[in-house]
């Protein structure tokens, strides 16, 4: 696994334990798990909530009104 042996993994876990403390590790693990789960869910499902239709911007709408007045 990426050239990391058992000894290196143990050292990394000990450093993480020292930095965050034993009380925070379950919270960090739960948050990381939820994030991965939501990412996988988002990549698999199609989101129909996104509206991709073109709309006029307010600035363009004002230009069209001025052009209509000039042509009239």
Q: How many domains does the chain have?
A: 1
Is the CB of residue 50 less than 8 Å from the CB of residue 42? no
pTM of the model: 0.44
Q: Is residue 10 part of a domain?
A: yes
Residue 37 pLDDT: 92
Residue 11 pLDDT: 93
Q: Is residue 68 part of a domain?
A: no
Residue 20: closest CA among 32, 8, 34? 32
Could you list the residue range(s) of the whole structural domain that residue 28 is in?
A: 1-45
Reduced to 3 DSSP states, what percent helix, strand and coil does the chain have, rounded to the nearest 5?
70, 0, 30
**CATH number of the CATH domain containing 9:** 1.20.5
Residue 26 pLDDT: 87
Q: For residues 26 and 23, give the distance between their C-alpha atoms in angstroms, rounded to a whole number.
A: 7
Residue 25 pLDDT: 84
- Could you state, in chain order, the average pLDDT of each consecutive group of 10 residues for the chain (72 residues)? 82 89 87 91 72 61 58 57
Please state the φ and ψ torsions of residue 46, each to the nearest 5 degrees. Answer: -90, 130
Q: Is residue 6 part of a domain?
A: yes
Q: Is residue 5 part of a domain?
A: yes
Q: What is the DSSP letter of 45?
A: S
Q: Is residue 63 part of a domain?
A: no
């Amino acid at each position: 696994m990426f050239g990391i042996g058992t000894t290196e993994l143990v050292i990394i876990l000990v450093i993480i334990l020292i930095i965050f403390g034993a009380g925070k590790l379950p919270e960090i693990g739960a948050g990381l798990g939820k994030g991965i789960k939501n990412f996988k869910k988002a990549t698999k499902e199609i989101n129909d909530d996104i509206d991709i239709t073109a709309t006029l911007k307010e600035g363009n709408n004002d230009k069209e009104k001025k052009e209509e007045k000039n042509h009239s």
